[in-house]
Chains A and B, each alone.
Chain A
Amino acid sequence: MELSDQIAQYLVSGLSTGAIYALIGLGFAIIYNSTEIINFAQGELVMLGGMFALFFINFLHLPLPLAVLSAVASTTAAGVLFERLTIRPLKAATPLSLIIITIGGSILIRGIAMLVWGKDTHAIPAFSGTEPILIGTATILPQHLWIFALTLLAIAMNKLFFNYTITGKAMRACAVNKRAAGLVGIDVRKMVLYSFAISASLGSLAGIIVAPLTMTSYDVGIMLGLKGFCAAIIGGLSAGAGTVLGGLLLGVLESLGAGLISSGYKDAIAFIILLLILFIRPQGLFGKAETERV
């Protein structure tokens, strides 16, 4: 295969994993914007999505669309439960205690998943076959197309929700100024809960659509979560285009790096990018610099 063909192939697979990272990253950003919490359990919700899908498809034999919807709903419920049981009861919340408590939550979710589904890797059938489709010189799997389509759909719905519904606008108001939002009668705590619900549903969708490609197990959440966070950081933790671009960029760079440099160090690429961004442009690649207030 020619180098250019190879690169085309890397781009396809990079963009599809990038889309996954984007969805997870959006989850991070939405929660961060309404609560200033980085939810370390975000990756576990991604894992739960895949695991619930596995359960509904392989054990209950639900038809695919119903199984996907049920898996998203179940994970969303888990996300809401998580917020209710850990974040909300926390009285004197400091950044440190929030980090610790979400890490605790992530360990707990992972442990329970291990208890329920065991330590094996599980496969979920592809949504519509595994017959590769030839586009130019690169081949693309039907599952890739599903990933692109569903990611686009999720991002579009997200956009519509935040821009055109009262609840979405209220959540944006909370992101700008929580106190002021509270003063004009927005129930801030409810908005926090919603942000966990939306993040969980986006994350679970990511976990479901990627599972047929990469398989899933109780511990896939750590890496996926961290990559998603990296996407969000590249995007300056914006709950919009920045993070989506960040995810795609990360996916492509990772895929190119793995293919052209070394597959063993593939996972390191994301973290090196993460560190560089944090050191040099903590406001993200596309964000504006913000003066630090005392």
Chain B
Amino acid sequence: MRFLNSEILKFILLALFILILPHVAHEGYLLNVLVFVGIHSILALALNLLLGYAGQISLGHAGFFGLGAYISGILTATYSLNPWIAMLIAASVVTLLSFAVGFPVLKLKGHYLAMATLGLGVIIYIVFNEAVDYTGGPSGLSGIPNLSIGTFSFDTDIRNYYLIWTFALIAIALSLNLVHSRIGRALRAIHDSEVAARVMGVNARLMKVQIFALSAGLSAIAGSLYAHTMTFVSPASFGFNFSVELVTMVIIGGLASIYGSLLGAALLTVLPELLRAFQDYDIIVYGLLLIIMTMFMPGGLAKGFPQAASYLRTRFGKRSSPDA
């Protein structure tokens, strides 16, 4: 099938690009930024499955990311468990937890869903701060070991780069498979018309909860990777602001676009570095970006350029194009 081949080709090109990139951008600082782009890509991808495909918002994903990081961190730093096993446990616990909590949460729609997930995220964040005996409280948890295979430890930027991007590529491949399957179609159908999807036999309720759990579990894996890469975690990285940042990545990259998630994650990770001169004021730029994207480019960067062009044409052009 032609369609399949072009998908595979796109993926291989991306993989090659990622493979070669460190040889061009080998400066330590830049590499560090690219590691973060990788982690954020996994997170944006996870959220996009829920937000872009199933159309269900979550303003609490930083919480799941944090849960993954803390579970992995505590199990290894405090209880000296093998990091890989810790990661597996973190992912499983968060998946199961979010599956259970998903039933009441995803019964809600729109603003109510947004507020409920937000509340969930804030509660998790408060626990990170207050359960000092386990998490170290606001000052954080340190001494988390790096991941390693045998005696090969992922303890340099370049090694972490390849580790995290391997995970990211796997996540991308699996997500691509998923969205081009009956499950992906069902998710998009729920987004477009839940009633019609149900009449066609899609168990919308269960499907939403499943994708919520998958999304949270994937975020937890990103959290675990983050913890073992940074070797230190503190609550500040998992607050409400980061949840909003994740939503921004998805929206800017493009709802229901796998590669768009990468684009959004890259842009929102690199942008603050470029805006460093403005220190904390980059948040103004986020706010503006969100408003402007929602108003003028609701499809995000992935689909947005043609959209924006046609908008500008109809707005300022001679109104010659009949489609609108």
Contacts and interface: CB of A to CB of B under 8 A. Distances in A.
Verify that A and B bind, or say they do not. yes
Interface of A: 37-38, 40, 86, 89-90, 92, 95-101, 103-112, 114-115, 119, 222, 226, 229, 233, 262, 264-265, 267-268, 271-272, 274-275, 278-279, 282, 294
B149 interface: no
Given A37-B111, A114-B281, 10 more contacts: A38-B111, A100-B290, A101-B295, A104-B290, A107-B286, A111-B286, A271-B120, A278-B115, A282-B108, A294-B195
A112 B281 CA distance: 8
A40 B111 CA distance: 9
A265 B290 CA distance: 32
Contacts of B107: 279
Given A90-B294, A111-B287, A96 B57 contact: yes
B291 A108 contact: yes
A95 B111 contact: yes
B288 A108 contact: yes
B7 interface: no
A90 B119 CA distance: 27
A95 B294 CA distance: 12
A275 B119 contact: yes
Contacts of B118: 226
Contacts of A92: 298
B298 A97 contact: yes
Contacts of B129: 264
A267 B294 contact: no
B263 to A, nearest CB: 17
A267 B244 contact: no
Interface of B: 51, 55, 57, 59, 104-105, 107-112, 114-116, 118-120, 122-123, 126-127, 129-130, 195, 240, 244, 247, 251, 280-281, 283-284, 286-291, 294-295, 298
A107 B290 contact: yes
Contacts of A112: 284
Contacts of A110: 283, 287
Q: Which 4 A-B pairs have the closest CB atoms?
A: A104-B290, A108-B287, A111-B284, A107-B287
Contacts of A37: 111
Contact of B119 (A95, A109, A265, A271): A271
B284 A86 contact: no
Given A90-B295, A104-B287, A104-B294, A119 B280 contact: yes
A98 B295 CA distance: 10
Contacts of A90: 294-295
A40 B108 CA distance: 17
B256 to A, nearest CB: 12
Contacts of A103: 59, 244, 247, 290
B288 A104 contact: yes
Contacts of B123: 268, 271-272, 275
Contact of B130 (A106, A114, A264): A264
A103 B120 CA distance: 17
Contacts of A229: 115
Contacts of A89: 295
A99 B114 contact: yes
B275 to A, nearest CB: 12
Contacts of B286: 104, 107, 111
Contact of A274 (B119, B126, B244, B283): B119
Given A90-B295, A100-B294, A108-B288, A275 B116 contact: yes
B120 A268 contact: no
26 contacts: A37-B111, A86-B295, A89-B295, A90-B294, A90-B295, A96-B57, A97-B294, A100-B247, A101-B291, A101-B295, A103-B59, A104-B287, A104-B290, A107-B290, A108-B284, A108-B287, A229-B115, A267-B122, A268-B122, A268-B123, A268-B130, A271-B122, A274-B115, A275-B123, A279-B104, A282-B112
